[in-house]
């Protein structure tokens, strides 16, 4: 289709989703002077924008931001996705999007989650491809962002998704742009976290836990990324990473706070790393499990067993190279039920440190440690005061 773009947009689509099949916007030629070539608002997945040619060939009197292809949040209605999700933008040619007013011209803009932008050719735009979320200076969220001239410096002002993560931008070709790629991302956007029951997406672990629709028994699938946050695991959920080399929880400032504080019974950590906190994980609840978890290079202990810890299992895990100990139990803590199997506790000052009051106080009962390696701890492999 050949389209002469003279208005706000040549193609504007809102609320696309995969419920009745794939949504394809392809093989169109768009020329002219409209503000947008292709505008995809509030998509919920199943959208492909491919093999289109979009060019700004005339300049009208519009002074606000322009974009050749924009995937964004705007005018959300009850049935629309609040966060744009699941759009593939591939094989398009976008040319000439500039703005003389002081606002900007963008070749391609994406905000939200789970998008792929690849194999496009973007030329002669002020900004070739912009990924943005959570940083609109005049957001107006949960309403619309302020898109007036001068109200969104370095930002495509028409969009205001609160989050952005889990997107793939690769294999694009650029020429003659002021800036080829730019990321304008607000605080707390670390990596994609998906509730596998509700299919909701988040960009940090704590927001996924705190969400009202996250309830006991759910699994939060955490992507391969580094998450600079302190996590309060206060619901009976499983945090499922992609392996300790890929899913990493670490603070912005070394030795600040505890990595994961578990206070919910039956909560689990799997396939991730917690590092550089004061304590990697602290626990004071029942029937918790750590499986293929690395608690390494923390500034005190990898694992702190607090009062009330009952029936905790440490499986296939590493508690290594922590400044003080691999795991510890404080003097007053009552711990009943500790299982460690096929794990490693090495390179600490003390492999473990278990303290007890001289009089009435903490206990450490029903302990099973099997098939595990305690070695190269510089002071002692394990100190047990029972």
Residues 312, 231: Cα–Cα separation, whole Å = 19
How many C-alpha atoms does 229 have within 13 Å on its Cβ side? Answer: 19
Mean pLDDT of 279-308: 97
Reported as a single tens digit per residue, the pLDDT across 1-60 is 666 556 678 899 999 999 988 899 999 999 987 889 999 999 999 999 999 999 999 888
Q: Give the residue extent of every domain in the chain.
A: 2-185, 193-384
Q: How confident is the model at residue 105 (pLDDT cuts 50, 70, 90)?
A: very high
| 209, containing H or E segment | helix 205-210
The three-state secondary structure class of 210 is helix
Q: How confident is the model at residue 362 (pLDDT cuts 50, 70, 90)?
A: confident
Q: How confident is the model at residue 124 (pLDDT cuts 50, 70, 90)?
A: very high
Percent above pLDDT 90 for the chain: 88
Residues 358, 346: Cα–Cα separation, whole Å = 29
For the domain covering 193-384, report its CATH number. Answer: 2.160.20.10
Distances (CA, A) of 327 to 151, 208, 330: 52, 28, 10
Q: How confident is the model at residue 313 (pLDDT cuts 50, 70, 90)?
A: very high
Is a pLDDT exceeding 80 seen at residue 247? yes
When the pLDDT of each residue in the chain is averaged and rounded to a whole number, the result is 94
Is a pLDDT exceeding 70 seen at residue 138? yes
Reported as a single tens digit per residue, the pLDDT across 154-163 is 999 999 999 9
Which residue(s) pair with 247 in the sheet? Answer: 225
């Amino acid at each position: 289709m050949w389209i002469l773009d003279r208005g706000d947009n040549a193609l504007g689509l809102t609320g696309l989703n995969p419920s009745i099949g794939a949504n394809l916007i392809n093989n169109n030629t768009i020329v002219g002077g409209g503000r947008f070539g292709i505008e995809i608002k509030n998509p919920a997945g199943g959208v492909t924008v491919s093999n289109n040619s979009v060019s700004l060939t005339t300049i009208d009197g519009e002074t606000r931001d322009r974009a050749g292809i924009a995937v964004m949040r705007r005018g959300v209605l009850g049935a629309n996705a609040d966060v744009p999700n699941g759009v593939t933008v591939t094989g398009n040619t976008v040319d000439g999007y500039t703005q003389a007013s002081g606002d900007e011209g963008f070749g391609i803009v994406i905000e939200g989650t789970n998008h792929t932008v690849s194999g496009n050719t973007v030329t002669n735009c002020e900004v070739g491809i912009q990924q943005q979320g959570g940083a609109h200076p005049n957001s107006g969220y949960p309403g619309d962002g302020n898109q007036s001239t001068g109200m969104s410096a370095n930002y495509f002002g028409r969009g205001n998704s609160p989050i952005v993560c889990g997107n793939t931008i690769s294999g694009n070709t650029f020429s003659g742009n002021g800036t080829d790629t730019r990321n304008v991302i607000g605080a707390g956007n670390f990596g994609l976290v998906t509730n596998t029951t509700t299919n909701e997406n988040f960009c940090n672990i704590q927001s996924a836990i705190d969400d009202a629709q996250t309830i006991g028994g759910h699994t939060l699938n955490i992507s391969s990324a580094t998450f600079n946050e302190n996590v309060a695991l206060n619901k009976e959920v499983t945090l499922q990473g992609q392996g300790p080399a890929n899913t990493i929880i670490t603070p912005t400032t070394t030795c600040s706070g505890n990595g994961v504080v578990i206070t919910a019974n039956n909560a689990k950590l799997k396939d991730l790393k917690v590092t550089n906190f004061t304590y990697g994980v602290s626990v004071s609840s029942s029937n918790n499990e750590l499986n293929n978890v690395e608690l390494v290079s923390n500034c005190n202990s990898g694992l702190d067993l607090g009062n009330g810890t009952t029936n905790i299992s440490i499986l296939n895990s590493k508690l290594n190279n922590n400044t003080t100990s691999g795991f510890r139990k404080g003097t007053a803590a009552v711990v009943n039920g500790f299982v460690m199997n096929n794990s490693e506790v090495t390179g600490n000052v003390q492999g473990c440190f278990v303290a007890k009051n001289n009089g009435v106080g903490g206990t450490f009962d029903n302990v099973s440690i099997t098939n595990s390696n305690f070695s190269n701890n510089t002071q002692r492999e394990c100190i047990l005061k029972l």
